[in-house]
Amino acid sequence: MIMGFIFLPMLLMQCFMAALAMSQPNLTTDQYALLQFKVYITSDPLNIMSSNWSTSATSICNWVGVSCGAFHSRVTALDLPNMNLTGSLPPHLGNLSLLVSINLSGNSFNGRLPPELGKLQRLRFMDLSFNFLNGSIPDEIWLLSKLEDFRLGSNWLTGTISRNIGNLTKLRRIYIGDTKIGGEIPEEIGNLHNLEKLSARNASLSGLIPPNIFNISSLRFISFWRNNLFGTLPIDLCYHLPHLEELYLNKNQLTGSIPSSIGRCKKLQLLSLETNKFTRYIPRSIGNLSELTEIYLTFNDLEGK
């Protein structure tokens, strides 16, 4: 009887440990996720999948486009840009729980972005640009708080920019242009104090440009050209942009005068404000921009000597 009482807890502990091991993500989990990714590929003209992605030939850590960590041997990167791949993105990619980088740009992926990508809480780099992805960006993706580089541009994406973008405080570069993403620009974008490059060109954005964007002192590049933005530029436009090199606000509906503070963007090399509704004089302070090599102001109602 005593032995029975001793044996039962040991048996329960073994069952618990076995169940725990099965539930913990491991290399087998990663392998299954990648094999499902392979299943979702409908065209592979370079034969990357058929010739290299085989479990019988080699470890997944040696597959083309796959990188693993040195210590835990888990998949940390999936990089297959410009491989002429066609297909859709499976939800199983969200099970690559140690993934830090995913780059599938320059292919022909279609369909919607799976919300399961929001499970990749270690992700720092996401580049799915130059594909045929459609639908809106799932809310879960806007919660990837470790993202530093976020590129979804040149797709057929719709919807709006979530206010949760303000949670991506480590973001340095974002490219969501050349899409059909519309709606207003959320003011929460002003929380991105590490942002260096902001590109939302050739989209369907409307409304005002939140003035706090021009308070992000780390910005080097801003592009909102060819949207439906209106309103005026803030008087203190360049008070907090010491590193700005390129500013594209052309082909919108912006009004008012060009702020004289533009002369305080000392690093500015390119200024494009053409095809708006700016009025009054071209500020003399533009003459202070010693590094300026390109300026576009045509198709406004500006005056000047």
Amino acid in the structure at residue 75: V
Strand order in the sheet with 246-248: 66-68, 75-79, 101-103, 125-127, 149-151, 173-175, 197-199, 221-223, 246-248, 270-272, 294-296
Amino acid in the structure at residue 210: P
Low-confidence ranges of the chain (pLDDT < 50): 1-24
Per residue, the 3-state secondary structure of the chain, as one string, reads CHHHHHHHHHHHHHHHHHHHHHHCCCHHHHHHHHHHHHHCEEECCCCHHHHHCCCCCCCHHHCCCEEECCCCCCEEEEECCCCCCEEECCHHHHHCCCCCEEECCCCEEEEECCHHHHHCCCCCEEECCCCEEEEECCHHHHHCCCCCEEECCCCEEECECCHHHHHCCCCCEEECCCCCCEEECCHHHHHCCCCCEEECCCCEEEECCCHHHHHCCCCCEEECCCCEEEECCCCCCCCCCCCCCEEECCCCEEEECCCHHHHHCCCCCEEECCCCEEEEECCHHHHHCCCCCEEECCCCEEECC
pTM, entire model:
0.89
Q: Which token pair is 65?
A: 């486009």
Instruction: Return the pLDDT at 304.
Output: 66
Q: Which residues contact 59 (CB under 8 A, 6 or more apart)?
A: none
Q: Are residues 244 and 238 in contact, defined by beta-carbon separation less than 8 angstroms?
A: yes
CA dist., res. 16 & res. 21, Å (int): 9
CA dist., res. 180 & res. 158, Å (int): 5
